[in-house]
Structures are given as C-alpha cells and as structure tokens.
Amino acid sequence: MTEQNKQVARRFNEAFNAGDVEAMAGIVAADFVDHPSGPGQDSGREELFEAMRMYHAAFPDLRSTVENLVAEGDRVALHGVASGTNTGELMGMPATGKKATFSYIDIYRIADGRIAEIWHVEDVVGMLRQLGAMPG
C-alpha cells in the first residue's frame, strides 16, 4: 500500500510539473482539503487548481524535483525543490525575469487511491527574496 501511495504522490508531482489540471483532477479526491489555505480562501480542489495555474503563469518553466519521499500507512511525505524563471505576474507583482529555486514539504493523506488532504510548507519568503520582492 505504501508503494502505491508513493506512486500517487509522484503522479501528483508530474501533473503539477505539466500544469495539467485534468490529470490532477484524476488524482485529487472530490472532497479534497488543502492545509493551510490562503487567508480568506477556500481549501478545495478548485483552489488547488487555481494555485497551480497561478504558479505556472508566473513561472512557465516551473519544475519540481522530488528529493525525498517517505510513506507510512495512508500518509506520504514529500520534500521537493521547485525552480523556474519569473516571466509572468506573481501575487500582483510584475514579472522580474529572475530565476528562483525554493524548497517545499508536502504531506499527503491518500484515500481510495486519491489525495484527500495536503499539508504543505513552501519557502515563499526565500522565493520572493530571490526575485527581489523582499529584502535579503
């Protein structure tokens, strides 16, 4: 079961890299919950898809690499590194043309072969510093 759950996490990463909402919709449960959601945002599937679209619009060449993947029971922990060039608007800020590389950790709860919940932490501050949007 843990190997199957790891494969779900890998497929999710592949769908994210491709910016493929249709593939992601086949991986994420209908009642999916994202922890934490942004302030004032819902935490469901559509918000997840919108976040993916936003990142891909800001970083069209965005790629995430899985560095560590651990599974136990219905949980999979993934540590990854994302990298891309900021050629589109990001969170209301104009494109900088700069490359950013940042790490993240996701914990997935898998139910019936789909991702039911995600807990995630991203180094957004590090990313914004690399783009010149925050003092370093």
pLDDT band at 13 (very low <50, low <70, confident <90, very high): very high
Question: Which domain, by its residues, includes 79?
Answer: 2-130
d(CA 92, CA 27): 29
Q: Within a domain: residue 18?
A: yes
Say which CATH number the domain at 83 has. 3.10.450.50
Q: Within a domain: residue 136?
A: no
What's the start-to-end Cα distance of the chain, in Å? 43
Number of domains in the chain: 1
Q: Within a domain: residue 135?
A: no
The predicted pLDDT at position 16 comes to 95
Is the model's pLDDT at 121 over the cut of 80? yes
The predicted pLDDT at position 91 comes to 87
The predicted pLDDT at position 39 comes to 61
pLDDT digits 0-9 by tens, 47-91 = 999 999 999 999 999 999 999 999 999 999 999 999 999 999 998
